[in-house]
Amino acid sequence: MAIQEDLLQHLDIAYSYHLAKQMEEYRSNPELGYRPAGSEAEFKTGELLRREMERIGLSHVTKDAVTVDGWEFKKAVLTCSLADGTCCRVPLGAYQTTFVTDGPETFSLVCLGKGSVADYEGIDVAGKLVLVDINQRDEWWINYPVYQAHLKGAKALIAVQSGGYGEIGDESLNAQDIAGPDFAPAFSISRKHAALLKEQMVSNEIPVTLDADTRVKRDCTTYNIVGQIPGRHPERMVLLSAHYDSYFSGFQDDNTAVAMMFGIARALLSSGYQPNNTIVICAMAAEEWGVVDSNFDWSTGAYEEVFTVHPDWAGKVIADLNFELPALAHGTRARIRCCYEYVRYLEEYLSELPQLTHAYPEDTRITAPIETWSDDFSMAISGIPSMVNDFTGGSFMETHYHSQFDNDSFYDEQVYRLHHELFALLIAALDHTAVVPLCFAPVMERAAKGLEEIIGTFRESGLAADMERVRDRLEQARQAAEAEYRTTASINHAYRQCLISGQDEEAETIFQKHRALEQHLLRRFKLAQDALVRIDWYGNVLYPHEILLKNLKLIGGARTNLAAGKLSSALQKLYQVDNNAYAFMFDEQVYNHFSDYVFHQPKERLKWGYGRLMPHRNLYSLVKSLLKKQRSQVNDFQEERAVLEEIYQNQCQLLEETLGHLDEMIKKITTGKES
């Protein structure tokens, strides 16, 4: 098609690369970078992007004010005297907490293993700095040892990555969202400097000085920067989004994504493309972090944009194309990760593409569902169907991600060009639809898959008949969704052919005729998000009955293990139930804080995680009782078996209620009617 060729010819990858580098100019920490939520560096970068939107010709450029918790990290430098008489200077990374010294202040630094509660036995850390090893990918998140250190009276915790993140080299620092209170300070140190300090320690301790200025600011204003390319149908929109806050320089995460949005918008404008729908470009603030002491403290700017500033976008935006780290190779192929409802359309889109830049050895694929790690999740649960270039494959996440080595050394121009082409043409394809091309069949297939596993597990119980009825309804819903999508695809094909052949009046007639159908589909999309999309304690997106089945298998298995005297096997299973792994390593106050805060905070603090977790059962006392018996070699587990039996029966009852709710919601998702 001429439109496709014209768009591809006007893409300027050098422009996008230059803009991504330009975004590195503003930094909170002169030495390390950082452009966090609500910081002066974030504000100045937002101003840069606003001016650039206007310069390239976007219309209706606005700065949408959103309220977030902000963070300024200006410095953190530790110094100590070495045995040879020299002074060692150690730059530290930081987490979103408050710690301000009056110039360099002297502390005692204590090495404390992994920072679990057992590591504190017999050690007084009051007023001291605590150095711990951490692997956030394979063991536990930073908030647990940090809060444990705070409760033990430590001044601050300094974490060294022992694996999981920052594996590029021994000089790597790392940063992540803290997911904890701002009054329990935390910093990061490289493996190289941590090893050096440990070598100098006498009795596991060493005097150091720390000069730090890191401040959290509650309820401050930051800005999402929004521009438009107006379309013939201004109320129907295609949204592009990427975040402009960052750790360190943020070249890959997410400068290149923001710059790619601008590059695609610039190509649309310079080619003279006249969209049928308004194309909205949104540079999001506060994606990396934006709310104090919440398990859901990232994607704050996006959440506020669609739930507070523009709740009206739901029902108008037919797709959000979110971008993350698009300028490096992730595995052996490019992937578009999307909500289930967009899988069918995107697979068809890929099958009809012209030859694009060859950047991967394998063809581009579609994967689902969306995950919680980027802004597209907030978009989807608001009612906006969303997708993102999949960015979690390959080694970058373990090596360079969220470190000072996130720079252009891993820049891959061919991959960057492919992503420009892939999504520029997708915008044009979506712009040539008259009805949002959602197919609910994959939603029903996923729900049925989880249900089949439950039926297999509970086939002998009284629940089996009810479950089979729900399964049959899901199959009927799947068949109806397939037929419905064929109708939608036929409408869109006719509309597209009219546009291509210049039959604008006929195209407009088709478009106007099907406004009610589109609203019906978008309304059902939101119903599906509310009814089916849940997350586990580690942010994985699952359906409600899948989470319950996993816990039932684990709890039932642990019950059986105890009956057979297999305590170690029982403990291994309980470790995997919800967040109960933390009951093994931290004291009860720490465990309770990070259990309770996901249920007992208002919606405005929990953001996109509000109501997304299934009911939680506190196993702390049970775990501790079993661990005590393991140490004492006691083999009487009658009391613990009774507790597990009660929990198991409660979970079975919850499963029965959930399946009944699922049955009702499938009716609503299929019909689009609330009752």
Q: What is the pLDDT of residues 430-455, one digit of tens each?
A: 999 999 999 999 999 999 998 888 88
Query: CA separation (Å) from 598 to 148, 260, 535, 612, 617?
Result: 18, 35, 12, 9, 13
Query: Sorting pLDDT into bands at 50, 70 and 90, what band is 378?
Result: very high
pLDDT surpasses 70 at 119: yes
pLDDT of 84 over the 90 cut: no
The whole-angstrom separation of Cα 607 and Cα 539 is 13
Q: Which pLDDT value is given to residue 462?
A: 66
Range(s) within the chain of domains with CATH label 3.40.630.10: 2-71+218-431
Distance of CA 431 to the CA centre of its chain: 27
Spatial neighbors of 73 by CB under 8 A, at least 6 apart, are: 28, 29, 34, 36, 39, 94, 213, 214
Q: Is the pLDDT of residue 120 over 90?
A: yes
Give mean pLDDT, residues 368-393: 96
Q: Which amino acid, one-letter code, is at 233?
A: H
For 542-590, give the DSSP string: E-HHHHHHHHHHHHHHHHHHHHTT-HHHHHHHHTTSTTGGGGGTS-HHH
Token pair for 400: 């360079």
Residue in 26, 162, 29 with CA at minimum distance from that of residue 92? 29
Residue 220 dihedral angles phi and psi, to the nearest 5°: -110, 170
Does the pLDDT at position 198 exceed 60?
yes
pLDDT of residue 3: 82
Find the mean pLDDT for residues 374-388: 98
Task: Output the pLDDT for position 668.
Answer: 87
pLDDT in tens, 615-665: 988 999 999 999 999 999 999 999 999 999 999 999 999 998 998 888 888
Which among 372, 465, 472, 457 is positioned nearest to 651, based on CA atoms? 457
Residue 464 has pLDDT above 80, yes or no: no
Q: How far apart are CA 377 and CA 369, in angstroms?
A: 10
Structural contact between residues 573 and 561, judged by C-beta atoms closer than 8 angstroms: yes
Closest CA to 236 of 284, 205, 275, 179: 275
Range 509-518 average pLDDT? 98
pTM of the model: 0.96
pLDDT at 293 over 60: yes
Say if residue 674 is exposed, middle or buried (CB neighbours under 10 Å; 0-12, 13-18, 19+). exposed
Out of 3.40.30.10, 3.90.870.10, 3.50.30.30, 3.30.70.260, select the CATH number for domain 73-217. 3.50.30.30
Whole-number pLDDT of residue 454: 84
Q: What is the pLDDT averaged over residues 117-139?
A: 95
Q: Which two tokens stand for residue 626?
A: 């079993």
Burial of 548 (0-12, 13-18, 19+ CB in 10 A): buried
Q: Is the pLDDT at 110 greater than 90, yes or no?
A: yes
At residue 1, the pLDDT reads 63
pLDDT over 60 (residue 250): yes
Stretch 154-170: mean pLDDT, rounded?
A: 94
Instruction: Give CATH 3.50.30.30 domain extents, the chain.
Output: 73-217
Contact predicate 97/214, CB 8 Å: yes
pLDDT in tens, 322-364: 999 999 998 899 999 999 999 999 999 999 999 999 999 999 9
- As a whole number of Å, the end-to-end CA separation of the chain is 45
> Can you give the pLDDT at residue 674?
59
Which distant-in-sequence residues (6+ apart) come within 8 Å of 278 by Cβ? 228, 229, 230, 231, 233, 234, 235, 236, 237, 238
pLDDT of residue 143: 97
Q: Is the pLDDT of residue 303 over 90?
A: yes
Our separate counts of H helices and E strands in the chain read 21, 17
Question: What average pLDDT does the segment 13-33 reach?
Answer: 97
Q: Dihedral, CA atoms, 585, 588, 594, 595, nearest 10 degrees?
A: 110
Nearest-5° Cα angle at 220, 218 to 224: 135
CATH 3.40.630.10 describes domain 2-71+218-431: yes
User: At which residue do the structure tokens 């407009």 appear?
Assistant: 508
CB 8, CB 428: distance < 8 Å: no
CA distance 19 to 4: 24
The rounded mean pLDDT for the chain is: 95
